[in-house]
Structure 1
Amino acid sequence: MGHIEDRWFKTVPGVAGQKPIRTRTDRCGKGDRYRVRYIAPDGRERSKSFPDRAKRAAEEFLAGVESDKIRGTYVDPSAGKQPFDQFAEQWLRSHPLDESTRPTVRSRVRNHLIPYFGGRGIGAIRPSTVRDWDREMIAKKLANNTRVVLFAHLSGILTSAVDDGLIAKNPCSAKSVKAPTSTLPEIVPWPFEVVAAVRDGVPLRYRPVVDLGAGCGLRQGEIFGVSPHDFDFGTEWLTVRRQVKRVGSQLVFGLPKNDKERRVPLPGRVAAAIRRHLDTFRTVPVTLPWEDPVHGKAVTVPLLFVTQRGSAVRQQVAANQIWHPALKAAGVEVCRVNGMHALRHLYASALLDAGENIKALAEWLGHADPAFTLRVYAHLMPESPKRARRAVDALLSGLPGSHGPETAPDHV
């Protein structure tokens, strides 16, 4: 058990058996009066000082320490003195991030978190500190979606501080802290005529890129990571096993987004386009590191689409030599919303219009959470109320007494 030491007074034995006497010490009236001393779970003695007239606060602190030790939630108060910037840099080095996104995360943390929280101790960051930081981000006119990502990084850093025993709670999780919410733009899928025109403008050796995007919902990196071995023409399935992505200045193979392979239904027209492509163009084995350009194991995959030199297709090459010329030829504006990702939106809109359920669509798109799919594409389901009315009417039509005047039998 700990105890509270009064450093202004001490008790000395009385003379000749008299009662003990309280006397002033040399520190009386100087500095903090009360010192709480206790043994931490690691076996080392810790202490915390309190001023005069704060004995009750000292007692409450000691009671809290002993309670936390019993519950296993004790946190050394001095541990929270570690500067935020030091811990954030440590988090950037050790946190399990996709290597292709690590530079972007590092840039965000260094540009928007470290300048604000700087050298202040982790334990000094309160919910009010987080609220003030977010207000400053709003004042800088940062987009909502940017604030959402930055808040997630900040919360991740502080959660790691909790796990490391530096702080007891993550201030980002406090009830008084309102996390920013993302705003999703309303997606307007391309008409079929636009897709056909863009496809006609794509060089022949890359034309099935459009089929895989619009017909199977693949992302750009997944399209350029497809191998003929990924197609099962007999059972009509395509297994999305990898993507080509950039880490720093190098290309690598890696798992699809969310680190998970998936199977996608293979439509007959897409299968036919792939078969024609295989009859016309040879596949080329390409060797790239897996995930990490320095330490990743070299993997060789015969790719469906390669450059004229037989190498994997870079994102910038795909934009400048394949996609942008096709957009211009079709009279479509070259802009972010008209990137190759627009093909995925067409795929999603077609399946929803056909009545496919959100869970299946999320799985085929490679989304980690069907709720995200619903948030992105809910506005593309305008017929849902009509379908609901028809379904309920059909269900209730068989119940006794459910016939209206138009279906009531004639009685003579």
Structure 2
Amino acid sequence: MGHVEDRWYKVIRHPGGRKERIKSDLFGKGMRYRVRYIGPDGRERSQSFPDRAKRDAEAFLVSTETDKLRGSYVDPKAGRITFAEYAEDWLRTRSFDESTRESTEFRVRKHLVPFFGSRQLASIKPGHIREWDAGMVGKLAPATRAVVFAHLRTILGAAVDDERIAKNPCSAASVKPPRPVQRRVVPWRADEVSAIRRGLAERYRPMVDLGAGCGMRQGEIFGLGVDDIDFASGSVHVVRQVKVVRSRLVFGLPKNDRDRRVPLPESVTQSLKEHADKYPPLSITLPWEDPFSDERVTVPLVFTTTRRGAIKRATFDGKSWRPAVEAAGIVPTRATGMHALRHFYASALLDAGESIKALASYLGHSDPGFTLRVYTHLMPASEERTRRAIDDLFR
């Protein structure tokens, strides 16, 4: 059992057993009370308190002994590491693919370290979280705020797991996580998709067919190999994407690290065959995931640039996609990228009666619930389906 020591006084014994409490050499200097106790690892630890704080020292001792019995003890000294130091350690030891690591490092260092960096982990309170979030309003888009807050909560959650702090201040009831604004998806019409397709160079037009007809992401289309297309079974095996990591092109797994098979419509099949006749596949070699890795992968890509290289998203968007969107009479915004073709695909399948579970699988969503939240408003109204079902039965 621990005890509270008064460092300003000491007890001496006189002959005959009489005890006398006298001032020590430390009287009036530094912290007066020192709590001494044995930690769960068997080592003696201490915590000091100033004059007139004996009750605080005793409360600390009671709390410490209780936490030891409950198995929730955290060494107060463990939380003295600064947020910046711990965040860098978290970034170093966290398992990411390289593109995710790059974006996470950027957000943590730009939006979290300036505010929390010099603070000790144990000193970060829910009020600091609320203050930081309020300061980000207007500076960051709601979606970005939500992502950065998730990083903060994960870092402090790891500190709890590492027994640096007792609880995560981000989980306090007074802290309300920022939520991104849910914008209702408005799919393009078929004529708008066709107009954008016509505005692209001929060698890139089948990309629109894959986006609108198979729901593939832009990077997945760029990384499509000729061996990934199974014309016999009528399917596309989505196994990789082309992405930019630290300003360099690499091959990598699709989003969520999940490959998938997508039905290949006959119209898209014909488009790809005609494309292959005019623009034969080219074998492209790129690093896998990490641009500085020695691992190289060679893929006969279906789509390449006029300079016989892999397609870089920023270059394609600026020189090909955006002009085609403008030529189709559509105002370019964040919502008019190639990702909009996936919305067109989703709306077409839902209108045809496809299930949310199947749609989530084709789109590569890890959670069908996410698919439902994004596209539920595009599903045919239940009242109309009910009328149609009963009318068909009575007929």
Normalised by the size of structure 2, how large is the TM-score? 0.91
CA distance in 2 between counterparts of 1:10 and 1:20 reads: 10
CA distance in 2 between counterparts of 1:385 and 1:296 reads: 58
Q: Which residue of the partner structure matches residue 92 of structure 1?
A: 91
1:48-97: CA deviation from partner (whole Å, max 9, x where unpaired): 12344544432332232233334433221112111112222333333333
CA distance in 2 between counterparts of 1:328 and 1:34 reads: 74
Between 163-172 and 94-103, the greater mean CA deviation after superposition:
94-103
Q: Which residue of the partner structure matches residue 159 of structure 1?
A: 157
Q: Does 1:335 align with 2:328?
A: no
Q: Aligned pair in 2 of structure 1 residues 389, 75: CA closer, same or farther (>3 Å)?
A: farther
Between 171-180 and 110-119, the greater mean CA deviation after superposition:
110-119
Q: Which runs of 5 or more structure 2 residues have no equivalent in the other structure?
A: none
Question: Displacement of 1:14 after TM fit?
Answer: 4.4
Question: Displacement of 1:394 after TM fit?
Answer: 8.2
1:78-124: CA deviation from partner (whole Å, max 9, x where unpaired): 12111112222333333333322433333322232122123111110
CA distance in 2 between counterparts of 1:300 and 1:141 reads: 42
Secondary structure of the structure 2 residue equivalent to 1:46: strand
Q: Which residue of the partner structure matches residue 108 of structure 2?
A: 109
CA distance in 2 between counterparts of 1:268 and 1:287 reads: 30
Secondary structure of the structure 2 residue equivalent to 1:363: helix
Q: Which runs of 5 or more structure 1 residues have no equivalent in the other structure?
A: 399-406, 408-412
* Aligned positions, number: 395
Q: Which residue of the partner structure matches residue 401 of structure 1?
A: none
The letter for the 2-side match of 1:130 is: I
**1:344-359, aligned counterparts within 5 Å?**
344-359=342-357
Question: Displacement of 1:209 after TM fit?
Answer: 0.4
Question: Displacement of 1:236 after TM fit?
Answer: 2.1
Question: Displacement of 1:388 after TM fit?
Answer: 4.8
Between 353-362 and 97-106, the greater mean CA deviation after superposition:
97-106
CA distance in 1 between counterparts of 2:307 and 2:50 reads: 76
Question: Displacement of 1:29 after TM fit?
Answer: 4.9
CA distance in 2 between counterparts of 1:308 and 1:187 reads: 34
Q: Which residue of the partner structure matches residue 143 of structure 2?
A: 145
**1:7-406, aligned counterparts within 5 Å?**
7-16=7-16, 18-138=17-137, 140-388=138-386
Question: Displacement of 1:141 after TM fit?
Answer: 4.5
Q: For the pair shown, which has the larger CA radius of gyration, 1 or 2?
A: 1
CA distance in 1 between counterparts of 2:205 and 2:140 reads: 39
CA distance in 1 between counterparts of 2:130 and 2:277 reads: 60
Q: Aligned pair in 2 of structure 1 residues 73, 390: CA closer, same or farther (>3 Å)?
A: farther
Secondary structure of the structure 1 residue equivalent to 2:109: helix
CA distance in 2 between counterparts of 1:161 and 1:358 reads: 38
Question: Displacement of 1:30 after TM fit?
Answer: 4.6
Q: Aligned pair in 2 of structure 1 residues 46, 368: CA closer, same or farther (>3 Å)?
A: same
Give identity over the alignment, percent: 56
Any conservation in 1 of the 2:237–2:259 contact (CA below 8 Å)? Answer: yes
1:377-404: CA deviation from partner (whole Å, max 9, x where unpaired): 222225234325656x689x99xxxxxx
Normalised by the size of structure 1, how large is the TM-score? 0.88
